[in-house]
């Protein structure tokens, strides 16, 4: 990754970083919430499953737009609505969509998903075949909050509880539509409980390990808007070999296989 040239006072607080072998160039805050590999792992997980062509998708909690843009890049026919609570991150997501030539297919909506009336006004119900989300993942009171408020909101459920996010995922999905999440592995139980409350049946689950000899750090879960479904636990996703070289699958997921 490398910084891009600053063109305004605002740009001095940002970096412009290339991902997927430079196929996407994304502005993000220099200090505060910066994206990691999670949204790319999520898009890879979604695209592993054979399915009918997806016309409309929603990314809940898009940040600066990584998952939404990577999904649009991978699926040339999809239109993505990318939802973000925080104004600066929503603005960066719009800018990133436009500067990467994806603005016509990625619409960024600034919205508080924890407010049912605001969410209903911004996102029509039963309108998407696919929902993806890399949501805030730590409950209030668990661990210290990051000193930068923007990062704290992105990582902790201080503004968007898990239950509210899963409720909105169910509401915007069409019948038999699917929702996919990337979440800390040690928070799998609360995620599955939230899905059960909303009637979303888990159908795929995959643990992510930084190395084979380490405990899982993340979990990828796909659920279906249906009364029930058969859960398939897939082989683990290993990011690195013992010598710290990326695995072949990690290189594919992160766009480094070209």
Per-residue pLDDT of the chain (258 residues; tens, 9 = 90+): 334 443 454 677 999 999 999 999 999 999 888 888 999 999 999 999 867 789 999 999 999 999 999 999 999 999 999 999 999 999 999 999 999 999 999 999 999 999 999 999 999 999 999 999 998 766 776 666 666 566 656 665 666 889 999 999 999 999 999 999 999 999 999 999 999 999 999 999 999 999 999 999 999 999 999 999 999 999 999 999 999 999 999 999 998 864
Domain ranges of the chain: 36-253
Taking a C-beta distance cutoff of 8 angstroms, is the pair 221, 132 a contact?
A: no
Distances (CA, A) of 257 to 118, 177, 247: 42, 31, 10
Q: What is the pTM of this model?
A: 0.90
CATH number of 36-253: 3.40.50.150
Q: What are 133's two structure tokens? A: 């989300």
d(CA 97, CA 99): 6
Report the sign of the C-alpha dihedral through residues 122, 127, 132, 135, in that order: positive
């Amino acid at each position: 990754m490398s910084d891009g040239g600053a063109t305004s006072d605002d740009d001095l607080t940002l970096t412009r970083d290339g991902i997927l072998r430079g196929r996407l160039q994304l502005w993000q805050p220099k200090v505060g919430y910066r994206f990691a590999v999670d949204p790319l792992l999520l898009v890879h997980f979604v695209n592993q499953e054979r399915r009918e062509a997806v016309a409309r998708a929603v990314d809940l909690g898009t940040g600066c737009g990584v998952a939404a843009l990577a999904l649009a890049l991978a699926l040339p026919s999809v239109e993505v609505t990318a939802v973000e609570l925080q104004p600066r991150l929503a603005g960066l997501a719009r800018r990133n969509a436009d500067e990467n030539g994806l603005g016509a297919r990625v619409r960024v909506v600034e919205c508080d998903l924890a407010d049912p009336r605001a969410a209903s006004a911004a996102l029509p119900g039963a309108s998407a075949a696919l929902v993806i989300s890399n949501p805030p993942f730590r409950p209030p009171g668990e661990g210290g909050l990051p000193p930068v408020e923007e990062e704290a909101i992105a990582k902790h459920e201080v503004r968007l509880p898990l239950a509210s996010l899963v409720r909105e995922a169910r509401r915007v999905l069409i019948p038999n539509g699917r929702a996919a999440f990337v979440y800390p592995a040690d928070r799998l139980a609360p995620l599955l409980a939230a899905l059960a409350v909303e009637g979303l049946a888990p159908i795929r689950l995959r643990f992510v390990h930084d190395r084979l000899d380490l405990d899982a750090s993340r979990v990828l879960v796909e659920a279906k808007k249906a009364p029930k479904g058969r859960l398939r636990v897939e082989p683990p996703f290993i990011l690195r070999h013992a010598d710290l070289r990326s695995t072949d699958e990690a290189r594919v997921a992160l766009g480094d296989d070209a």
